[in-house]
Amino acid sequence: MHRFLVAATGCLALVLGACGGSKNEGGGGGGSGGTDDPTCEIDLASYTVREGEGTASIRQIKGGADLVEGAASRGRVGDWLLENGKIRAVVQGVHKGFGADALGGKLVDVDIARPSGEGKDVLGAVSPLFNFGRTLAPKDEKSFTVVADGKDGKAVVLKVEGADALHPGVDLVRSVNGSFTGSAKLMVDPKAELGEDVTVTQYYILAPGAHRIRSVTAFCNAGEVTKVIPVGDLVEPGTIEDRFSPSGWGAAAERDDVPWIAFQGDDSAYALVPGDGKGPNLLVSTDGFIASVQGSNSLQPYTKPLDPQKAPKGAVVVPPEKSAIYERSIVVGTSISDVTEGIFAMRREQTGRVTGKVTGGYEGAGARVAVVDEGQIVTVFTADAEGRFDAIVPVGTYTLSASLPGLVSPAVEATISSENDANVTLELPAAGRFWVKMRAYDPRNVEAAPSIPGRVVVRCKNGPCPSREGEWLFRDMETVRYPADTVAYVGYTVGPPMVVDLPVGSYDYILSGGPEYESYPMSFASDGKGMPITVTAGQLTPPPPPPELGVPAQPAMGIVARIVNTKGWISTDLRARSNDSRGTQVSRLSRVQGLVGDGIELAISADTDRVTDLGPTAELLEANRWVRTVTGSEMAPTGLGRMTVFPLNADSTLPGNGAIAWTGADGLLLSPNALFESALGRDAKVILINNARGPGGLFTNLKLDTDTLATHADPGTLGMMQVDGASSDDTGLFSKNFHALEVMGSSDPAMFKTMMNDWLTFLSQGLVVTGTASSGANGRVNPSPGTPRTWVYVGDGKDTADKVEMDTFYQSLKAGRVVAGNGPFITVKASSGGNTVGPGEVLASNGALVRLDVTVQSPMWMKYNRIEVYSHKAGREAAGGMPNESWPIDSVATQADGSGARFEVDMTTTDGNEFEDFVDSEGLITQRQKKMINKSFTFQPEADTYYVVVVRTVTDTRDGLRVMEPVPADLAPLFFDGEKGVRPMAFANPVYIDVDGGGYNNFPAGR
């Protein structure tokens, strides 16, 4: 065993002494008795000094009272608690988790000290990362040693020993190499071990009075060759709503020269501060993680062989018989201003105080104040209920400005000194407040026009809204990205009225409740105009009546009709994601508001590698009558893709709150079939493959041929064992053991045809799986949750959130009794010889004609132009491990008369305009209008086949638009995703035709 001593002289230290060897003699805790693993010791003298008043302590967690609570809490019995009266932190024990904590010994929970039951941990996990994909893997409980217990009044120190291991939670090299142009690629192979002569040891340190956890990774080299090791960290952000660095918010925070990065959640925040906090550091986003590369602002040096004489800046260089360390701090607070104050303290910067008040706007409460120095944001803090602020800032001269959404004050210069407080007043532009509520006529509800959740779109009336570019200093503008530059705000009215502050000016607003609802005003469908409003400075719109009338103020009110009749069907989002999921910054509250506001009636939680229950949030919003929630999880095994499994029971004693483990006891990735069997063994009823042809999708990564179901991916490259029966022609990684395939998602509309090719090829060869559509939305409104969605037939009287029978839902979903898309809604009936069936069912034709009756319903604002029927067609197969992105020429099915099964819809005519009667709140009849197109197709199948109905919008002559044919008016972006050009599109699952009387078993691809 080798034991080295590393002098702690900074963020990167080198020891010039020779290496010796001995057993680990650290005492206490899980390290009692020591471990046989090599250890790399550090000199603790400079780490154990006090940073303030009080004491620090460390103990192994024995029960729930020791856990750090919060939405992102991952701590378990057997983990390690470090606390000092200021902050509390949990270091994971030997057990495995998901993501950044896929191997033990990682920092998984942090929070300020709070009363029991009030914890607000928002951290996912932070893992040391070296060689772009390796980390430390503790072997057992003896790998953990308390080397300083704090009883001497100094810091506590936890040492973690273990093996140098490939991190199974992320494939960083794939992401990085994909970002390079030309043939450039990283010359560092994370699959290669550092070598048996290199020892890695991890230390976690908490000093009395500190607001930070110090994390130190020590490397010792007993070999004869100098080692050059890129170092950094893998951050799984957790349940955050903002990410921030001096470069900006959101994606702008992830620059190539940042000194540190901070994350803000609900009254809780933390920052990763590499080294001395001065940078530069490079940040890479991948699969919802953020990976840091210490001390570098470019990855180009790593595209060349690593030369110890010309090592990339920030890399650890460890000569023979020498040692070195990499240090970083995780600073903990309640807000961005809290953690920046902690960063100023750790950098020992001289500071002063700035106070002041934000005025103007509708009111200054909650305004964010940014302190800027030559384009870099020093800190951001939030004004209180009276608009006042008080913050600590390094001495210097800065510009300060304030902002509320849509409002930015002029900048004011202030000089901060350590002797005197600076005081400034920041004046926001004038603003007023708009409030609105929605009611609806719903034939399923006996109550006449009750208040319902809805979506509110507020637009600037006189063209594009003023640029919000200046707001990048204050918030992540991606989270308020709206579907058009004329949109000022998108929100939801759930229970109480929706309230929004707006700059003074003229606007209009539109209300809707999803693709089943008409818009308010109804005239929007024809003229594209909303209801006009004028916002006045300091006033409520609509204004309250005069006090002498004694009439309470009332919000603006719009009544919409649930005009599309989906009787017997329930509207679902099979991938509802919140900030429990990597890469999503939408809180559970905002997600549930969006789901019910856009008319989703059943939502499946699909957070990445975590079982989440949205039920308590729905109950908090009193939205249970509108949406039923189901606990599930999205499996995201590294290098394989995304698969939703549901239902799953949450279990806080298991990693991921009970998510499905995707590695085996040997640490290798499970094969898809083993993953599916594991999910079914947990009583999951549905396995849904998502985004299969995306850059990291399952079919893409397996290199799947859909005609033979052969795969060409090397299991070793994917990090899994070779499966039985594999050959050079088929590595055998595909599994049929799933129920549904996401044919349509929100990520890329152009992917629809590729996924249709795969799905129809499966159907043609007898792999009958349900085609679905789901949002997987990471954003709040663009795309909105439920765009697209899946309707499942559950039976008359069972088609609402409070009445649906879940066993029937699961059975119908797996049976293909499904319509999917973002609207319109399709009804399909296939008949022959007196028999009639719908989607997912088999029709016995006995060689007779088959008639397909299609009814397409849509609100008047939804415009489309094609109804098409598809069946088996050669040319859809994917071969050579590559997706088939081409659509077969004349791809529609052929009718009995030889014509193609395609119908052109002209939305400019009154054809199909239907009126329905609704009862208003006074019992009076009111009429509302929808578009309902009925079309029949007739086929003469000679052998077993299937028919899939698709309704879509073609906009290009290459896609079938006739010359001079007008493209339908595009109103959908206000309700879908305008940036990606999403237009109305939907499909019904197949009706299967049995010609020979044996069922659907003479598959078209086999003939």
Instruction: Kindly list the domain boundaries of the chain, sorted by start residue.
Output: 56-337, 351-429, 439-471+482-562, 569-994
Give the position of tokens 């979506």: 455
Name residue, tokens 């490939």. Answer: 166
pLDDT band at 447 (very low <50, low <70, confident <90, very high): low
Query: What was the pLDDT predicted at 18?
Result: 35
Q: What's the rounded Cα separation, in Å, for the pair 564 and 777?
A: 24
Residue 747, pLDDT score: 57
Highest mean pLDDT among 478-487, 833-842, 976-985: 833-842
Compute, in degrees rounded to 10, the torsion defined by CA atoms 222, 225, 226, 230.
-90
Residue 449: band (very low, low, confident or very high) from pLDDT cuts 50, 70, 90: low
Rounded to whole angstroms, what are the CA distances from 104 to 144, 145, 201?
A: 10, 14, 13
pLDDT of residue 448: 57
Instruction: Report CA-CA distances (Å) from 963 to 243, 530, 905, 960.
Output: 48, 32, 15, 9
Angle at 618 between CA 613 and CA 619, to 5 degrees: 105
113 with 87: CB under 8 angstroms? yes
Q: What is the pLDDT of residues 609-646, one digit of tens each?
A: 999 999 999 999 999 989 999 999 999 988 889 999 99
Query: Which ranges of 657-743 does DSSP label H, i.e. alpha helix?
Result: 672-681, 698-702, 715-718
Q: Is the pLDDT of residue 22 over 60?
A: no
pLDDT at 112 over 60: yes
Average pLDDT score over residue span 200-210? 97
The pLDDT value given to residue 956: 85
Return the closest-CA partner of residue 398 out of 437, 371, 377, 428.
Answer: 371
581, burial (CB in 10 Å: exposed 0-12, middle 13-18, buried 19+): buried
State the pLDDT at residue 748.
65
Confidence of residue 974 (pLDDT cuts 50, 70, 90): low
DSSP H helices in 697-834 = 698-702, 715-718, 751-764, 806-815
Question: Which is nearest to 119 in space by CA: 161, 72, 80, 78?
Answer: 72
Whole-angstrom distance, CA of residue 657 vs CA of residue 98: 10
Among 185-194, 453-462, 956-965, the range scoring the smallest mean pLDDT is 956-965
- Mean predicted lDDT score pLDDT of the chain: 90
Per-residue model confidence as pLDDT tens digits over 515-572: 999 999 999 988 889 999 999 999 999 998 888 887 888 999 998 999 999 999 999 9
- Please list the alpha-helical segments (H only) found in 608-714: 615-620, 672-681, 698-702
Report whether 15 contacts 7 (CB < 8 A): yes
Position 32 confidence tier, pLDDT thresholds 50, 70, 90? very low
What's the confidence (pLDDT) of residue 977? 62
pLDDT for 507: 96
Closest CA to 230 of 162, 305, 314, 289: 314
Lowest mean pLDDT among 547-556, 759-768, 819-828, 979-988: 979-988
Average pLDDT value for residue range 132-148: 95
581 pLDDT above the threshold of 90: no
**How many Å apart are CA 291 and CA 92, to the nearest integer?**
19
pLDDT band of residue 182 (cuts 50, 70, 90) is confident
Per-residue confidence band for 429, with pLDDT thresholds at 50, 70 and 90? very high
pLDDT tops 70 at residue 8: no
Alpha helices in 87-245 (DSSP H): 172-179
What's the rounded Cα separation, in Å, for the pair 457 and 308? 58
pTM above the 0.85 mark? yes
Q: How many CB atoms lie within 10 A of CB 654?
A: 16
Identify which has the larger pLDDT, 527 or 202.
202
Q: What is the pLDDT of residue 392?
A: 94
What confidence category does residue 972 fall into, taking pLDDT thresholds of 50, 70 and 90? low
Check whether 671 has a pLDDT greater than 50. Answer: yes
Q: Higher model confidence: residue 848 or residue 961? A: 848
Joined together, the tokens standing for residue 530 give 């909303």
556 by DSSP, 3-state: which? strand
- Note whether 351-429 and 569-994 share their fold: no
Task: Say how far apart CA 941 and CA 936 lie, in whole Å.
Answer: 16
Please state which CATH class domain 56-337 belongs to.
mainly beta
CATH class of 569-994: alpha beta
Q: Is the pLDDT of residue 1 over 50?
A: no
For 692-810, where are the E strands, in sequence order?
A: 740-745, 770-774, 789-793
Would you state the pLDDT for residue 784?
A: 77
Mean pLDDT for the stretch of residues 673-693: 95
Considering the four listed CATH numbers 2.60.40.10, 3.40.50.720, 3.30.230.10, 1.25.40.850, the one that applies to the domain covering 351-429 is 2.60.40.10
For the chain, report the end-to-end CA distance as a whole number of angstroms. 67
* Range of weakest confidence among 261-275, 366-380, 704-718, 778-792: 778-792
Selection from 946, 941, 916 nearest residue 928 by Cα: 916
- Which secondary-structure segment (H or E) carries 201? strand 198-206
Residue 12's pLDDT is 41
* CA 535 from centroid of its chain's CA atoms: 35
The pLDDT of residue 30 is above 80 = no
